[in-house]
Structure 1
Amino acid sequence: MKNFMVDQSLKELTEHRTVVLPIACYETTINQNINGYIPLHWHDEFQFVLIVKGEAIFQINEENITVQEGEGLFINSGCLHMAKDKNDSDCAYICLNVSPGFVLSQELYTTHVNPYMQATNIPFLLLEPKELWAKNILDSIMKINQLIKQNPPYFEIDISLHLTLIWKNLIINGIELEYEQTEVTKSHRMKQMLNWIHLHYPEKILLEDIARAGQLSRSECCRYFKRMLKKTPLNYVTDFRIQKSLMLLQQPESNVTDVAYQVDFNSTSYFIDKFRKSMNMTPLAYKKYKNTSPFVK
């Protein structure tokens, strides 16, 4: 998956369905993404990750965590997350996304699935193979990936069985569920501000505009971004504009000056400077590289 599509609210647009079941299971190499990393996004599906090569730094909501080869992650529904390669390790992982309503039967969903979706103290769980429950989950992720590749008779039933095993092992680790309305409100406000930026990035944006979208003061808005994204709101705007410029630069007829203005840089030289700091190359060099790279699309 080279081009990672999200909507204005950062909700992933990828269709999470690779078989007749409401799941997707695929292998991805982080640095082959158009951005060179997996950008910030969220989705309604649960996500299970198994690192098969290298190591990655995942950010889930406010927390950063390093995940090494052989380890994995459970990322809860609706949580903002992103991933970057660590130490140029050419990190690759299997990603399993599954609709919460498909994990267990409808009769068991209310009791055994929904409480975990709502729990604010489980944005993610690190899956370490030294823990038996986690090893069982990682093994099932691998088996589901193999089943989809091999397509044996009745493989959909086998996938359903492995999903049941995954969920049983996840809940038997004994974590105490907690629910805090303040955490829900924080997440909602952050998504509102990000959504506003993604709708208005081609326009002039002031800190007051972003804060108003989240119903916050300017200082509280800055605290949200520092805590969640480790950068200021306006630095995030600049980074997002650079991200949006990548697709534009890949169009054969585009030129650097036009792209700069399309993403609301009112100076080509300023755009080039910010682009170089973000991507370690100039926009023109990036354009030429993508025109000759096998990973253009």
Structure 2
Amino acid sequence: MIRNRTFVSTDCYRKELQEQGLQLFNMYANEGDIHQYIADCIPSHWHRELEVFLLLQGSVLIQIGDNIYHAEAGEGYFINTGVLHSFAAAVPSPCIYHSFVFDSGIIGGTPGSVFDTMYVRPLLDAGPDFLKFQKEAGDEAFFQQFDTAYTACEKEKSGYEFEVREALSKILLYTKEKHQTMPSRRMPTLQESRLKQMLEWIDGNLRSVMTVKEIADTANICTRECQRIFSRYLHYSPMEYIQRRRLFKAAEQLSTTDAPITEIAFDCGFSSHSYFTKQFRVLVGATPTEYRAAIQENRL
């Protein structure tokens, strides 16, 4: 089944939360337009699963750690496990994408197997954080296998999982071969670890008034270093990030619950309904009521 989402649920560490329930085939196929997300972006997050991403239309800025890459239509990308990343529309026209987010165990099988030991584990441990694929660069195999897997997910014929697993296996094998001339994975920096500490604390205190000093204290750093880390990895000041995080959380609750808007506003740290509505309109271009109505209409 193909998913089409308007938000990415994460925990306090910005780790993506997958849908509840036992997943016998731990793989998600996604489609959508980056403009469907609040503020035309999928905010910074990470997951233990691997991701392959194909941009079909438009132009997108992909941030990997503290690096930004300009993705154009027709390009494909591999994102390794545990990598902090985000997507932002770079043009007002549709930015249509397809992607797979999948557990490496689908390919590697039992830990210690030949598939896991010789092919999957080396890619997870020493492969690239991020890798681009282009047809003009001779990467046709990536696109052929991506299309095979996606078509299988669309049709979901009996046994389609075998076809998807084979196609994703070939994509990982091609990725492993392609990256051999490239640098190995970098280790997460101390700043990235401190950022996760601060994000965890912010998420646990969204209802409260926060200061930059309080945020910095959670990572045992000064306020200036705190501001520098937020600017480097998130491109916002700490207080700007808090405001956006509150609004993104509110948008998710508007999409997934029937809770009263005033209750959502207070739960997300806004002191008044009117201020929440004003700030939500600035970011989203619609009031909370209008946004909820539009989401519900699209689901019909």
**TM-score scaled by length of structure 1:** 0.84
Q: 2: distance between equivalents of 1:97 and 1:253?
A: 30
Whether 1:169 and 2:174 are equivalent positions in the alignment is: yes
**Residues 197 and 210, structure 1, Cα contact 8 Å, conserved in 2:** yes
Q: For 1:295, what is the secondary structure of its paired residue? A: helix
Instruction: Give the one of 91, 97, 104 matched to 1:93.
Output: 97
Shift of 1:61: 1.6
Tell me what 1:195 maps to: 200
Tell me what 1:11 maps to: 15
The CA RMSD over aligned residues, in Å, is 2.9
Instruction: Give the one of 89, 107, 122 matched to 1:115.
Output: 122
Shift of 1:146: 0.6
Whether 1:131 and 2:122 are equivalent positions in the alignment is: no
Q: 1: distance between equivalents of 2:258 and 2:215?
A: 34
Instruction: Give the one of 226, 248, 253 matched to 1:221.
Output: 226
**Residues 281 and 288, structure 2, Cα contact 8 Å, conserved in 1:** no
Q: For 2:9, what is the secondary structure of its paired residue? A: coil
Shift of 1:49: 0.5
Tell me what 2:289 maps to: 287
Give identity over the alignment, percent. Answer: 24
Shift of 1:166: 0.7
What is the identity, as a one-letter code, of the residue corresponding to 2:260? S
Tell me what 2:163 maps to: 158
Shift of 1:97: 1.2
In structure 2, stretches of 5+ residues that fail to align are: none
Q: 2: distance between equivalents of 1:16 and 1:98?
A: 15
Whether 1:66 and 2:73 are equivalent positions in the alignment is: no
Tell me what 1:142 maps to: 147
Q: 1:16 to 1:125 in 2, by over 3 A?
A: farther
Q: 1:40 to 1:236 in 2, by over 3 A?
A: same
Q: For 2:31, what is the secondary structure of its paired residue? A: strand
Shift of 1:94: 1.1
What is the identity, as a one-letter code, of the residue corresponding to 2:182? E
**Residues 55 and 96, structure 2, Cα contact 8 Å, conserved in 1:** yes
Q: 2: distance between equivalents of 1:151 and 1:85?
A: 30
Q: For 2:271, what is the secondary structure of its paired residue? A: coil
Q: For 1:224-247, what per-residue CA distance to the aligned partner results, in whole angstroms no more than 9, with x for missing partners? A: 111101111121011111212224
Tell me what 1:231 maps to: 236
Moved over 6 A (4+): 16-19
What is the identity, as a one-letter code, of the residue corresponding to 2:293? N
Q: 2: distance between equivalents of 1:75 and 1:56?
A: 15
Q: For 1:102-153, what per-residue CA distance to the aligned partner results, in whole angstroms no more than 9, with x for missing partners? A: 333532423433333234x832112212122x33112211110111222345
Q: 1:141 to 1:18 in 2, by over 3 A?
A: farther
Q: 1:295 to 1:37 in 2, by over 3 A?
A: farther
Q: 1: distance between equivalents of 2:258 and 2:160?
A: 43
Q: 2: distance between equivalents of 1:50 and 1:135?
A: 13
Q: For 1:53, what is the secondary structure of its paired residue? A: coil
Q: 2: distance between equivalents of 1:229 and 1:47?
A: 21
Q: For 2:181, what is the secondary structure of its paired residue? A: coil
Instruction: Give the one of 249, 254, 257 matched to 2:260.
Output: 254
What is the identity, as a one-letter code, of the residue corresponding to 1:237? I
Shift of 1:16: 9.7
In structure 1, stretches of 5+ residues that fail to align are: none
**TM-score scaled by length of structure 2:** 0.83
What is the identity, as a one-letter code, of the residue corresponding to 1:261? F
Q: 2: distance between equivalents of 1:253 and 1:20?
A: 32
Shift of 1:189: 2.4
Shift of 1:154: 3.7
Q: For 2:71, what is the secondary structure of its paired residue? A: strand
